[in-house]
Structure 1
């Protein structure tokens, strides 16, 4: 459910932690945790907060977006990658976040996720490239390798993957 500032204030107890501070505490917990399970849980929670547009700025300001990007660039565990990709997928609906993730170079390391076995990770990756294309309307951002990989995904056994690939290809061809 999408929130407003008034709804957040209403749900926050008088002596409670406001949303930005709470998200900051989650980021600190992720950065300081040595437990893999705790890192997964925190990353999943941050990705869930990324669902609501009211949190976009907060997540960017407290460094959660940087954590998602770091995980995508440097981690190999599919669980962590899946949560980080889901967080980016939610956050890239915001044009400011889209520009930020592009500046970080996300398009350089997303193609490897299009080849993985994890259907959720592939679906989130396809959604990210689709959203980047629609927000910025710049098909030239996507090189031939990425378009060819997505062309192959049209034949995926997963209907979700095949549908997302088809929609992306139709959209990119209409913009060129």
Structure 2
């Protein structure tokens, strides 16, 4: 990629971040501010999927922006923020930035979302972030509960998480679990 292409890519991502930050004002947007914020955040999350953008997104502090969205009341912002973090969690430097910012706890909190996409992104991000932290007792019980979900995607991803992050010895040592009270996502 030429230096001009790299520069253009950075400038475009910077424009998106600025647009997201400025969307609270009523600046004549086609969408209402909440819808505009959601659209811009969804675009940033999609750009986070491309590893060529990771360095730019780190420089623009987008991992922190995504983390901030996890505590919003707007479920769309939470879903898109979690999706962006999931995408960035593949990059080692982004992964470190997320962990340093208490991201494991914030991502773990998203396991209780009523939105399946948010939960799937949270599980995937936890698998990428830090296995010893991600596989705490509460997360283990949650994954055991998700194995009972009607959604095949949720059941299968929970099984992969348990296999990759917990191991058979730990699961056997856990014995009978009490994860029945953990709510499952509804969509």
Alpha-carbon distance in structure 1 between the residues aligned to 2:60 and 2:159: 36
Corresponding residue number in structure 2 for 1:18: 8
Within 5 Å, give how 1:109-124 maps onto structure 2.
109-124=106-121
Within 5 Å, give how 1:30-109 maps onto structure 2.
30-34=20-24, 35-72=33-70, 74-109=71-106
| 1:40-63 Cα deviation digits (max 9, x unpaired) | 010000001011100001011112
Query: Structure 1 residues 38 and 156, CA, compared in 2 at 3 Å: closer, same or farther?
Result: same
| 1:36-95 Cα deviation digits (max 9, x unpaired) | 1110010000001011100001011112222101111x3121101111111001101011
The CA RMSD over aligned residues, in Å, is 2.0
Q: From 131, 147, 150, give the equivalent of 2:143.
A: 150
Query: Structure 1 residues 106 and 18, CA, compared in 2 at 3 Å: closer, same or farther?
Result: same
- Count of residue correspondences: 161
Corresponding residue number in structure 2 for 1:139: 132
Q: Secondary structure at the match of 2:49?
A: coil
TM-score of the aligned structures, taking structure 1 as reference length:
0.84
User: More displaced, 161-170 or 141-150?
Assistant: 141-150
Q: From 141, 145, 161, give the equivalent of 1:168.
A: 161
Which of the pair has more CA radius of gyration?
2
Alpha-carbon distance in structure 2 between the residues aligned to 1:90 and 1:43: 13
Conserved in 2, the CA contact under 8 Å of 1:27 and 1:63? Answer: no
Comparing both structures, which one devotes a greater share of its residues to helix? 1
Unaligned runs of 5+ in 1: none
Q: Secondary structure at the match of 2:166?
A: helix
TM-score of the aligned structures, taking structure 2 as reference length:
0.79
Corresponding residue number in structure 1 for 2:29: none
Unaligned runs of 5+ in 2: 25-32, 171-187
